[in-house]
Amino acid sequence: MKTIDELLADGVSGKRVFVRADLNVPLADGTITDDGRIRAVVPTIKALADAGAEVVVASHLGRPKGVPDPAFSLLPVAERLAELLGTPVAFAEDTVGPAAHAAVDGLEPGQVAVVENLRFNPGETSKDDTERGEFADRLAALADVYVGDGFGAVHRKHASVYDLPARLPHYAGYLIAREVGVLKKLTDDVRRPYVVVLGGAKVSDKLAVIDQLLGKADRLLIGGGMAYTFLKAQGHEVGISLLQEDQIPAVKEYMERAEKNGVELVLPVDVLVSPEFPDLKTKAPSQYTVVDADKIPADQEGLDIGPRTRELYASKLGDAETVFWNGPMGVFEHPDYAEGTKAVAQALVDSDGFTVVGGGDSAAAVRTLGFDENAFGHISTGGGASLEYLEGKTLPGLAALED
Enumerate the active-site residues. Answer: 37, 202, 360, 384
Helices (H) and strands (E) in the chain — how many of each?
A: 14, 17
What are 325's strand-pairing partners? 197, 357
Question: What b-and-e string marks burial along 207-234, b requiring 16 or more CB atoms within 10 Å of the CB?
Answer: bebbebbbebbbbbbbbbbbbbbbbbbe
Give the Cα separation of 310 and 50 in Å (integer). Answer: 47
- Within 8 A by CB and 6+ apart from 333, the residues are 280, 368
Give the Cα separation of 94 and 226 in Å (integer). Answer: 40
CA angle, 230 as apex, 156 and 201 as ends, to 5°?
40
Exposed/middle/buried for residue 324 (C-beta within 10 Å: 0-12, 13-18, 19+):
buried
Give the Cα separation of 361 and 387 in Å (integer). Answer: 13
Give the Cα separation of 293 and 269 in Å (integer). Answer: 5
CA angle, 215 as apex, 212 and 221 as ends, to 5°?
75
Alpha helical stretches, state H, 304-395: 307-317, 339-350, 360-368, 383-390
